[in-house]
Structures are given as C-alpha cells and as structure tokens.
Structure 1
C-alpha cells in the first residue's frame, strides 16, 4: 500500500501575524503569565506544524537556489545549490523534490 501525503498548507504572512498576535494577547490575559514575546513565533510555528500547517517561508538568501523546504517541525531551509541547478534540492542535511508536501519549488 502506498501512502499519499497531502501538500501542507502555508499561511499567508497576514494569517501568520494574526496567529502570533492572538497567542500574545491570550497569554497577556492570563494571570501570572510572563510569556516573552520572542518565543511566540516559535510556539505558533510548532503548534501549526503539529496539525500540518506551515508558517510562511523566510526571505530568500541571495546566491542560492530559491527552492525551500519545511521539516516536520515546520522549520524552513533553502536549497544550498546554485540557482537553476538540475535535479532535486538539498541543504546538506535534507534532500527534497519540488513535489514534496512541504516544498516550495524554485521561483523565477
């Protein structure tokens, strides 16, 4: 039996900012809670990744292939190959295809 993994939904930047804002507001309303703002994006990313939703990919690093991939925890990585290279993508740790459920194919 072949398992088919669905493409993971990627939030828009606005949806992601709204989610971070709501986590911050919810934490602020809780008594005796002092949640540092710097951890909110990680909490949102990990929670969403657990249910198959990804945060927007980060800004692209110049000089490398623009393909990106999110791991199981929702952390994004960019292909380390030269732009326009043939074949699959990778960063030295992960390899992926454009069809992978957590992949964003090269742009432009």
Structure 2
C-alpha cells in the first residue's frame, strides 16, 4: 500500500494505492466528487483550495484509472463507488463494477 498526496484539494488530502494479485485499487477520496468529473476533470468542487492544480491532478488520476487492471474507489460516487475508467473510442467514462464482481 502507498499513500500519496492529492495536489490542489484540501491540505493534506491523500489517496491510497493498494496492489496485489496483478491488480491495483486506487482509493481517491475527495479528488473526484462525481463520475461526471471523470469525463470532465476540469470541473472543480467548492473545497478545492487550488482549482487549477486539482484539475490537473484529476486529469492524471483519470489517465491512471484507465490503465489495465486498475479499479477505482470513489467514496462520493453514491451507490457506484467501485469501478473502472473506460475509454471506449471517446472520452473517459466511469464504469461501475457489477455487484457480482463481473467487469
């Protein structure tokens, strides 16, 4: 497990990256507040103390979440907190994992 700072959000905000079994999970906390921000990382939340840095961080995070064998955990994503970022020929989009674990 690694802990890393999320630039631009509230002071001291961190993400957790857990790897094992050929996969990784990124628990990104408040870096993304809505699945809409996956497609539009430039959209800031009111609590971003540096909106430009936060948007740049979100863009990098979305790119990382779209890498193979990567699962995201977004605490603010209501009932779709676990998912993957897919780029099926267009803009990135949040694809929730099914309750059965199917991708």
What is the TM-score of this pair, normalised by structure 1? 0.31
Structure with greater strand share of residues: 2
Structure with greater helix share of residues: 1
Greater Rg, structure 1 or structure 2? 1
What is the TM-score of this pair, normalised by structure 2? 0.32
